[in-house]
Copies of this chain bind each other. A is one copy, B any other.
Amino acid sequence: MIIVMKPMSADSEVDKIIDQVEAQGLKTHLSHGEQVTIIGVVGDKSKLDVPRIESSPFVEKVVAITESYKLSNRKFHPEPTSFAVGNTSIGSDNMTIMAGPCAVETEEQLLTIAAAVKASGATILRGGAYKPRTSPYSFQGLEEEGLKYMKTAADETGLATICEVTSAHAVESAVKYVSMLQIGARNMQNFELLKEVGKAGLPVLLKRGLAATIDEWLNAAEYIISSGNPNVALCERGIRTFETATRNTLDLSAVCVLKEKSHLPVIVDPSHATGVRSLVEPLAKAGIACGADGLMIEVHNDPAHALSDGPQSLNFEQFDAVMQNIRPYISLSKRSMQ
């Protein structure tokens, strides 16, 4: 950490800051410049009361040099993480394909979709039972009933399953029925919920918040891991920008940055990112090409009648075509779908 003092700060003020830092057992290096004086801080800065230092009227700014996340940081955990999810796994040389409807609607619908996505090569069935919707008047999900259908679908097909959870109560239910929990974009910084899924014993897919920086995202993962759960995958699903041609702006650079900064697997969701069916295939290919460990794709037996997010859902034929067309890219990535 570096503390930049305001120009003209008296030596006595600089000394006060140095005392404050050294009182915590850290070391300092002083550098007097023509324009500014800089205090380099060496040691475990987690002991340090940064806001207290920043708020001194003589401090210009405090520059962090090291990241605040540790357990999700590649520097301290160089090997990529992989973990089992039901009968399949995420990470390593596996290319994980999560597919299914935005919202679980009926048991019959879910079983039909599960069979279809399995036939086309998906390894994890996604389906929402708790739907966070912008308006309270939109369909909010089947809740525990939907989870039960997920369990039935898993039993019938052998697919692993993933379901979003939106409250401690939902976590409690979901662990009984599915293989993996999902934290949605709107809850990425719902820290109480992160702690809950950190204790729930199932792997977690953590979606990026609407306007979350990569740094905040890895700190959110840190909440889960530090609560006891190391099996976390990250899901890039687009960020909010000024551009309105797509629902969000899929940030594939983030996939590459995450691969450098973290050891956690990264999934790309082109369906939610764009909200446009025809963009799913080219961006699925792009996601694989830049290093993603998997994809999450919305599939519906009848997109024109979906209760949630129809416009971006693929029907079975479309999904099967996407799966055929991405195979050569998966081969190039030296991964396989297992």
Contact = CB atoms under 8 A, between A and B. Distances in A.
Interface string A251-284: 1111111011100000000000110111100110
A171 B36 CA distance: 41
Given A282-B256, A286-B286, A311-B51, A251 B244 contact: no
Contacts of A254: 243, 245-246
Between A54, A242, A328, the greatest number of chain B beta carbons within 10 A of the residue's beta carbon is seen for: A242
B291 A282 contact: yes
A43 interface: yes
Contacts of A246: 253-254, 257
A307 B227 CA distance: 23
Contacts of A36: 65-66
Between A35, A186, A246, the greatest number of chain B beta carbons within 10 A of the residue's beta carbon is seen for: A186
A167 B168 contact: yes
A104 interface: no
The A interface is mostly helix, strand or loop, or mixed, namely mixed
A11 interface: no
B304 A55 contact: yes
Interface string A103-137: 00000000000000000000000000000111111
A290 B270 CA distance: 12
Interface band, chain A: 35 or more
Given A132-B189, A249-B249, A309-B51, A65 B4 contact: yes
Interface in A284-304: 285-291, 303-304
A142 interface: no
A250 to B, nearest CB: 5
A83 interface: no
A193 B304 CA distance: 32
A289 B285 contact: yes
A289 B288 contact: yes
A49 interface: yes
A63 B66 contact: no
A25 interface: no
Nearest to A277: B55
Interface string A196-215: 00000000000001111111
A253 B244 contact: no
Between A35, A214, A273, A307, the greatest number of chain B beta carbons within 10 A of the residue's beta carbon is seen for: A35
A321 interface: no
A337 interface: no
A252 B286 contact: yes
A305 B52 contact: yes
28 contacts: A33-B43, A34-B43, A38-B40, A52-B304, A68-B135, A68-B137, A132-B189, A134-B189, A134-B219, A136-B219, A136-B223, A136-B227, A169-B192, A186-B189, A186-B190, A190-B193, A210-B211, A210-B212, A211-B211, A211-B240, A240-B242, A242-B242, A246-B254, A249-B249, A253-B279, A256-B282, A257-B279, A288-B289
